[in-house]
Structure 1
Amino acid sequence: MITKIIDDFSISFIVEEPDDLLTLRRIIRKGDTMVSDTTRVIKQDKDFSRPDRGERIKIRISLEVEKIALDSVFDRLRVHGTIMESSNEAVSKGSHHSVLIKIGDSFNVTKKKWLPIELKLLKSKEDGFGFVLVAIDKGDCGIGKLKGTHLELMQNLYSGSSGKQYKSSFNIEGFFENVTKMLETTLRDNDIIVIFGPGETKKQFSNYLQKTPLSKKHKIEIVEGIDSGGEDGVYIFIKSKAMQQIMGQSKLAKVTSILEEIMIKAQHKSKKFTMGFEETQKANQYGAIDSLVFSERIIQTHDEEKVIEFLNEAESRGVKVYALDSSTDIGMQVSGLGGIVSLLRFSVES
């Protein structure tokens, strides 16, 4: 998420990834003011126009927030409220309107006072960087962008090397050039390129990248032991020990480590972990939680407002809170465990 402080009360936002929408859901509150571009249907008052139809126009409004809710799959955020100002005279002040926030949208939020937890959430988003995962083989290449705990897969690229008719004329540098062009459209500042796959192709591609401008802007890492290319290779890497070793400071690696520790404690019948909302909520009341992981399922199956209040309260107590979606296997694993799990500093009696 890109943010810019306008003054002591207002901040500008640009949404970059699904996780940003969840952060915004935890930041925007009833009574805040949002300034955003949106569309609204304006009834026409012309000869021969149908009274039941209008024209959808683009307007800029200032909205006093009354209600905010996440879409069920975390890819949209709906903000409902009362229009305070409008760029079109046909849209009256005081009328109600909903703004749908999606990836790529920009808007401003003004508050009477920014709470410490809200500023903390914003700072954690500013500090992040991403990994671009390249699972390359002689025949194809899969590219995934990992930002936070969200994985976005690009379309597979194929080299055309398969088949006897290509053996004498195949030029692997042409394939590498196409992969590099795809990387140029995917990479952001400070992103790290991680290359893996079977055979020697990964090293050849790394050597190719060293001769391009990308090598001056981005760190390049090669990972051994992942014997698949393409989309399958990306998924295998995400679940591998190699991912935790090379991306140890990433959110996904930290979450994977937390889940592994919870599974070990469960096998040993330890009580220093929780599963499910009620159990985790109780542990938080005692200040026992060290780390907490939740998925979209917890918001789908429980009262959204109560879940958001709980997450903010837990983080205010110093709990490390991580969000997951269904883009990775580990996100689906947390959903299967009730949508929320935590590691405890000390056990809490049920």
Structure 2
Amino acid sequence: MIVKPSGASTNAFFVIPEDADDLFTLRRIIEKDDHVIADTTRVIKQVKEYGRPDKGERVKVRVSIRVEQSKLDAAVDRLRITGVIAETDNEMVTKGTHHSLSVQAGDMITIDKGRKWQEVELRMLNRSGSNASFILVAIDTQEAAVAKVSGTHVKVIPNIYSGQSGKRYQTKNNPNIEIYFTDIAKTVSSIIGENDKVIIFGPGETRRRFFNTLVARQEIPRDRVQVVDGVDVAGEDGIFVFLRSPAMKEAMSASKLASVSSMLDRVMLMVNRGEAKFAMGMQEVSQAAAMKAVEAVVFSDSIFKTAADEEQVVKLLNSIEGYGAKAFAVDSSTDIGLRVSSLGGIVALLRYAIR
């Protein structure tokens, strides 16, 4: 998430969510009576003196709404914020009327709390604003998949095909593999961020040949590109094999995804050993949180769908981070997200056993 102080107020921040993780964070930060400023559209109808109003015209407008409710939508790819319009830059848009903002990755909003931000809120905001991403390339001579891992969210770009026949030698009808490498390199360059790293893997020596092509373009520094052994699958399947492999934890050791994966492995080990330093599900985690026994917690998008009160989930997570524990959000774009969902949607490591 891109985060910058807003010049309009000392209590306001300008933010751009970049992935589903950032939307989770905003859901936990935005509260009732906050002011959210965003560009949106609204239908304006012209009322005639002796006739019905026309169908109206949809116009772009910047509004500041006083938040009444924020809610993750069922698809978990956008945050819906509803409230009352407090300010607008179009005199034809009436103040005091209700409006709904739909915030997706890439949208720009300003959050003004009208008060000093709490330490836990700033911690969540700054942590989201400092996450580097990883670009994964699963490649062989016939196909390649490129994926971007931001936090614990994975976005896979459709496979790129070389058109090679599978022969080990160049034939008249075989396209030049260098053109194939160039297409992949252009895809990587189009999605990489300033501090992102590239990880290349796949069967044979193709991964090293692509590494040479990518570095030779001089668009990405050599020290930000890494070739990984041990994953001999290319294409989209290769991406998900890598994300479940020990190679992922080693290559992405500083990433949020690797931290969550290691945490779940520890929980499964405790289950097998019969240890009780973990909690699963809302009831158990809430009990542990009340005793300040939580060391770290991971939750999936399913917890917002199954919980009776979404606001209760937000308060629980914020209270856990409030006393220094770590909280990680995952979604169903990865195998880890599905694992957490199957364990009740929320799993916690405890500082000590409570049962």
Q: Report TM bin, short chain.
A: over 0.9
TM-score under structure 1 length normalisation:
0.96
Query: Are the equivalent residues in 2 in contact too, given 1:77–1:102 (CA < 8 A)?
Result: yes
2:66 counterpart SS class: strand
2:220 counterpart SS class: helix
Q: CA deviation at 1:99?
A: 0.8
Select the residue among 95, 98, 113 that pairs with 1:96: 98
Select the residue among 340, 346, 349 that pairs with 1:343: 349
Select the residue among 149, 174, 177 that pairs with 2:179: 174
2-structure distance, mates of 1:93, 1:18: 31
Query: Are the equivalent residues in 1 in contact too, given 2:215–2:222 (CA < 8 A)?
Result: no
Aligned residue runs from structure 1 range 181-220, under 5 A: 181-216=186-221, 219-220=224-225
- Say yes or no: does 1:2 pair with 2:2: yes
1-structure distance, mates of 2:121, 2:69: 17
2:295 is aligned to: 290
Select the residue among 324, 334, 341 that pairs with 1:328: 334
Select the residue among 116, 137, 145 that pairs with 2:140: 137
- Say yes or no: does 1:12 pair with 2:14: yes
1:326 counterpart SS class: coil
1-structure distance, mates of 2:56, 2:223: 50
Question: Identity, % of aligned pairs?
Answer: 44
2-structure distance, mates of 1:107, 1:274: 36
- Say yes or no: does 1:251 pair with 2:253: no
Which residue identity is paired with 2:66?
E
- Say yes or no: does 1:118 pair with 2:121: yes
CA shift digits 1:133-157 (9 cap, x unpaired) = 0000000101110010000000110
CA shift digits 1:31-79 (9 cap, x unpaired) = 1111111111111235998636222111111111111111123211111
Query: Are the equivalent residues in 1 in contact too, given 2:64–2:85 (CA < 8 A)?
Result: yes
- Say yes or no: does 1:146 pair with 2:149: yes
User: How many residues in Structure 1 have an aligned counterpart in Structure 2?
Assistant: 349
Change (3 A) 1:286 1:176: same
2:274 is aligned to: 269
1-structure distance, mates of 2:279, 2:221: 45
Which residue identity is paired with 2:34?
D
2:216 counterpart SS class: coil
1:214 counterpart SS class: coil
1-structure distance, mates of 2:178, 2:48: 62
Change (3 A) 1:228 1:340: same
1-structure distance, mates of 2:159, 2:338: 23
1-structure distance, mates of 2:343, 2:46: 53
CA shift digits 1:101-138 (9 cap, x unpaired) = 11111011111221111100011112210000000000
1-structure distance, mates of 2:337, 2:171: 42
Q: Which runs of 5+ in 1 are unaligned?
A: none
2:158 counterpart SS class: coil
Which residue identity is paired with 1:5?
P
Q: CA deviation at 1:86?
A: 1.3
1-structure distance, mates of 2:212, 2:101: 47
1-structure distance, mates of 2:166, 2:315: 58
Q: Which runs of 5+ in 2 are unaligned?
A: none
2:28 is aligned to: 26
CA shift digits 1:254-305 (9 cap, x unpaired) = 1000101101100111111111110011011111111111001111111110
Query: Are the equivalent residues in 1 in contact too, given 2:139–2:202 (CA < 8 A)?
Result: yes
Query: Are the equivalent residues in 1 in contact too, given 2:46–2:54 (CA < 8 A)?
Result: no
Which residue identity is paired with 1:327?
S
Query: Are the equivalent residues in 2 in contact too, given 1:4–1:12 (CA < 8 A)?
Result: yes
Change (3 A) 1:35 1:218: farther
2:317 counterpart SS class: helix
Q: CA deviation at 1:170?
A: 3.3
Change (3 A) 1:81 1:308: same
Change (3 A) 1:85 1:325: same
Select the residue among 312, 315, 318 that pairs with 2:321: 315
Which residue identity is paired with 1:266?
V
TM-score under structure 2 length normalisation:
0.94
1-structure distance, mates of 2:149, 2:50: 54
1-structure distance, mates of 2:203, 2:166: 19
Select the residue among 220, 226, 241 that pairs with 2:246: 241
Q: CA deviation at 1:166?
A: 6.6
Query: Are the equivalent residues in 2 in contact too, given 1:191–1:218 (CA < 8 A)?
Result: no
